[in-house]
Structure 1
Amino acid sequence: MISSCATTYNSRFTSADVKPGISKQAVIARFGKPFKKSFEQIGDVLYEDFYYKETIYKDYWFEINNILHFQDGKLVSLEQGEEKKLYQQVPVVRVQR
């Protein structure tokens, strides 16, 4: 007998209690260091973006980027960036001889 069980994983950012106003330090403590950062200073305001990759399963495996936007060290928004489908099956071509 063969059985299977489908599991759906949610993004750890959308399923976690991530809310505007939390500090960069709290985000790093909860999710670790981002794989990439960017920043821009406009006047007295510092804008920073933290980029986190994760792999989730929802009918297929996907790699998604989560971008957390900070203003003066406080989270102001969360954005899902690029999404890439993983492990796509390659069609098998059979050659008749």
Structure 2
Amino acid sequence: MVKPVAIKDVVGDVIQELSEGSGVSKPRIIEAVNSAVGRKAAGHIKTEYFKNSKLTINVDSSVWLYKLNMQRKQILDNLRIALPKTEFTEIIFKVGKV
């Protein structure tokens, strides 16, 4: 019989695998995202995954979704500075569990 695995562990493993393809570790991407959005906003987001140069981030409310969407270009620029060897073409913000 297969032992059950927590979904949070599976998601973490998937992010790690996808991140390895980009040459950047999952913790480094999360650190860069938190820095790029700012300390206050970092408490309202969770980096979900990075695939095909697209970064998906969950946001805890529609207010933060709006605010971060308005800052999307600045956040992308900050990520490109923090991780110059990683190509970020798009950030997708969505309301979800943080």
TM-score (normalizing by structure 2): 0.28
Q: Normalised by the size of structure 1, how large is the TM-score?
A: 0.29
Which structure is higher in RCO with an 8 Å CA cutoff and minimum separation 6? Answer: 2
Higher Cα Rg, which structure: 1
Structure with the bigger percentage of strand: 1
Return the structure number with greater helix share.
Answer: 2
